[in-house]
Amino acid sequence: MIKKISFIIMVLVLGMGNLIAQKDPEAKEILDQVSEKYKSMKGMHAIFEYYYYNELDGASQTNKGELTVKNNQYKLVLDDQEIYNNGQTVWTYIKSNGYREVTINTANPEQDELTPTSIYTIYKNGYDYELLGESRKNGKAVQEVLLKAEDSDAQFQKIKLTIDKDKKTLLGWEVADSDGGTFRYSFKEVNANLNLKDSHFTFDPENHPGVEVIDLR
């Protein structure tokens, strides 16, 4: 009977240890520092490289883009589209082969939505996290933190963040979705001390003559 009780206690202790390990305190400290550093920024502009690969069908794509962020607002510029989000409204501007169209939607504040601004706080809800380790890349000390979704049905199952250890800023992230796709974003040029006006994150049709406006709000 004593052996049986001891075995049960051992199982409970090991189980609690695994549970605690899911929320790595060292990783949380790093994530909190990165989140606070982002909040303290007046505005940020970055040139980034984007890579996509789908292991199911072998599809891949590489591209470059520009990103500006300020608090919960962002503007994303790619080859054939621009996305403006001022925290309340989202404009998706498509520009392809001479065709111009902008679709307007209400901004979606869902906690599990992954955007250039929510990437800094998404770890706070629905994710476990652990520090994978440290290394040096391009002369910088970097840390990698892995987020794992608590819900097996979550859209993004794994998110790996690459962080500048000294500056506590994001250098990039890699995302695995539920459809077998992997997205990788790497910042190449970053200016984190910009004074950006709110109008920078609002699409103005008057500045784009001939654009077709589709308002879905």
Mind listing the domains of the chain with CATH numbers?
Answer: 24-79+112-197 (2.50.20.10)
Residue pLDDT, tens place only, 98-141: 889 999 999 876 655 788 888 999 999 899 999 999 999 888 89
pLDDT score at 54: 87
| Alpha carbon distance, N-terminus to C-terminus of the chain | 66
Helix, coil or strand: residue 178: coil
Q: Name the nearest CA neighbour of 183 among 174, 196, 192, 171.
A: 174
Distance of CA 193 to the CA centre of its chain: 20
**SS3 string of 21-80?**
HCECHHHHHHHHHHHHHHHHCCCEEEEEEEEEEECCCCCEEEEEEEEEEECCEEEEECCC
Residue pLDDT, tens place only, 6-25: 433 333 333 444 444 488 99
User: Once rounded to an integer, what is the mean pLDDT over residues 169-194?
Assistant: 87
Half-sphere exposure of 71 (CA within 13 A, CB side): 9
Residue pLDDT, tens place only, 43-76: 999 999 989 888 888 888 888 999 999 988 999 9
CA distances from 35 to 32, 72, 169 (A): 5, 12, 9
Task: State what percent of residues in the chain have pLDDT above 90.
Answer: 55
pTM of the predicted structure, to 2 decimals: 0.78
Show contacts of 127-130: CB within 8 Å, 24+ apart: 127/159, 128/22, 128/23, 129/23, 129/24, 129/27, 129/28, 129/31, 130/21, 130/22, 130/24, 130/27
pLDDT score at 17: 42
pLDDT score at 110: 62
pLDDT band, very low/low/confident/very high, at 173 (cuts 50, 70, 90)? very high
Cβ pair 65, 189 in contact under 8 A? no
